[in-house]
Structure 1
Amino acid sequence: MPIGLDVQYELVTMPNGKLIDIYRPRPRAAAGTLPTVLLWHGIGPDERDVLGPLAREIAGHGLLVLVPDWRSDAPDGGRAHLLDSLEYARGGAGSLGGDGDRFVLAGWSAGASAAMGLALHPEAAGGWRPAAVVGIASRYDRPARTTGVPVLTDLTAAPDGLPQPVPVTLVHGTADEQIGVAFSHQLLEALTAHHWPARLEEIEGADHAGAMMTAYDPVAGRCRPTDDEKVRAAGRFTARTVAEAAGVSPA
């Protein structure tokens, strides 16, 4: 699939009232033909927009990308919002041109540990398992928003009956001062100790926001799109990595 496909954008309200952004190549694909990515934002409440540049870049590789809002300040820490978005994405992917069997669960920061939590606790999603997980610039020693259990606790405790392994790809900037790349190394070591297929892609010089193609605006207190070519190159690297996790070989 060529890079830089024209990308169509759609904004939809899910049954739970939360918004979800939908990115897909144009012209619209036939049902069930595109690998699907559900991409969760970080801890900032309802910040799906900060992932817009990255989501559009991923879709440009020929994937269906869905980015929902969720609120970390909800009484349950966002669990219901995250699981609702998964249910919506799984149920609607086919009608949007997505392939439910090539479904990658991805996230940035707190969204990444939430995604990894479901890989270790498929019962939280009715036994469903993604084709792959991509974790971008996260730490895994705090309770996952989807399960309430730190991912590393699940792995280091080595409980009986760990689920069948899911391929995991980690992406982390080497200049991330908010969540250092050592956290991803820590998870990689724990996964490989349990014989899970896992790899870590480090982005030289990228910070926490840069790994997903944005720059942090301290005045606004949020991440913003940027024209900085180094940041955009970092985001393109992340997008290619997500596409590869979905089985697409970017040109």
Structure 2
Amino acid sequence: MTTTKDYAPGRLLDIRGDPDGPIVLLWHGRGVDHRSSMHPLADQVAAAGLLALSVDWSSEATDRGRSDLLASLRFARNLAERHGRDPGSVVIGGWSLGGTAAVGVAANAGRSEIAVGGVVLIAPGDGPRVIEPISGSALPVAFPPGAGRCHIDLAYGEHDPGATPDLVTGLELRLRHAGWSTALHAIDADHSSIIGTRYVERTERYLPSRSRAATEAVVRVAAVVAAATSSR
């Protein structure tokens, strides 16, 4: 069963899964209000006994989506607290630009209101032309020290023409060099199938895919997400 809530006035997220399970916040990639693109992954995360929150946000907003993303994180932290959980245990699963934003949260988590239990970067964007919404700048060449910070998982599609294996492994290397705890996960997928979807150019939307590759890929990614919550 899916419940839709406002995490801020007029801003929606879908909740599915075990209300008593660990909370996972799922951020879609570039675009406006594409939370449905995360539903295939949310279904698998919920099936693993977790509570999945698929979030609408807008990378086209004047602040590039920063206020949306942080408001959704505050909602998830408050929800965890109401359920008797540590609000700092929330895990973010971000895909594409949503993954880039999740790195920004981890790197700027010195403030208690944005602390998280872990992040899973799914085909994250990187490079000087990719603006990370939390800081409003590109991801740094040299990250702040990661000792004592949350663990970061990075999942990449072996056939992704955008978030290429070299790009994602390079990001992981920079994080690890700064002392972050990281793990790489190679997935037999491209940029859309890694979250169980297919891209429809006519509508510019990512829709659920029934292909074997997409089905297997999203199950693997969900397992990475589930493991990130169990490490808390």
**TM-score above 0.5:** yes
Deviation at 1:94, TM superposition (A): 3.9
1:165 to 149, 152, 155: 149
- TM-score, normalising length: structure 2: 0.91
Provide the residue aligned with 2:174 in structure 1: 190
The within-5 A match list for 1:179-218 is 179-204=163-188, 206-218=189-201
SS in 2 for 1:168: strand
Greater CA drift, 138-147 or 230-239? 138-147
Provide the residue aligned with 2:93 in structure 1: 106
Q: Determine what percentage of the aligned residue pairs are the same residue.
A: 32
1:43 to 30, 41, 48: 30
1:150 to 113, 138, 142: 138
Contact 2:27 2:55 in 1 (8 A): yes
Deviation at 1:150, TM superposition (A): 2.4
2:106 to 111, 119, 133: 119
Unaligned runs of 5+ in 1: 1-7
Give the direction of change, closer, same or farther, for the CA distance of 1:145–1:101 in structure 2 (3 Å limit): closer
Provide the residue aligned with 1:130 in structure 2: 116
Deviation at 1:43, TM superposition (A): 0.5
Provide the residue aligned with 1:4 in structure 2: none
Give the direction of change, closer, same or farther, for the CA distance of 1:73–1:89 in structure 2 (3 Å limit): same
Cα displacement string for residues 89-130 of structure 1 (whole angstroms, at most 9, x for unaligned residues): 11123446865343112200000010111111124x545421
- TM-score, normalising length: structure 1: 0.84
Q: Which amino acid aligns with 1:168?
A: I
Contact 2:142 2:178 in 1 (8 A): no
RMSD of the TM alignment (CA)? 2.0
Greater CA drift, 9-18 or 96-105? 96-105
1:74 to 56, 61, 65: 61
Cα displacement string for residues 8-53 of structure 1 (whole angstroms, at most 9, x for unaligned residues): 311112233101110113xx53xxxx21111111011100011001
Give the direction of change, closer, same or farther, for the CA distance of 1:118–1:151 in structure 2 (3 Å limit): same
Provide the residue aligned with 2:78 in structure 1: 91
Give the Cα separation in 2 of the matches to 1:168 and 1:102.
13
SS in 2 for 1:45: coil
SS in 2 for 1:13: strand
Provide the residue aligned with 1:219 in structure 2: 202
Question: Size of the alignment, in residue pairs?
Answer: 229
Q: Which amino acid aligns with 2:121?
A: G
Greater CA drift, 176-185 or 99-108? 99-108
Contact 2:146 2:175 in 1 (8 A): no
Give the Cα separation in 2 of the matches to 1:126 and 1:167.
17
Contact 1:36 1:98 in 2 (8 A): no
Unaligned runs of 5+ in 2: none
2:216 to 233, 238, 242: 233
Give the Cα separation in 2 of the matches to 1:96 and 1:59.
17
Q: Which amino acid aligns with 2:79?
A: G
Give the direction of change, closer, same or farther, for the CA distance of 1:162–1:193 in structure 2 (3 Å limit): closer
1:55 to 31, 35, 42: 42
Q: Choose 1 or 2 for highest CA Rg.
A: 1
Give the Cα separation in 2 of the matches to 1:108 and 1:182.
17
Give the direction of change, closer, same or farther, for the CA distance of 1:180–1:93 in structure 2 (3 Å limit): same
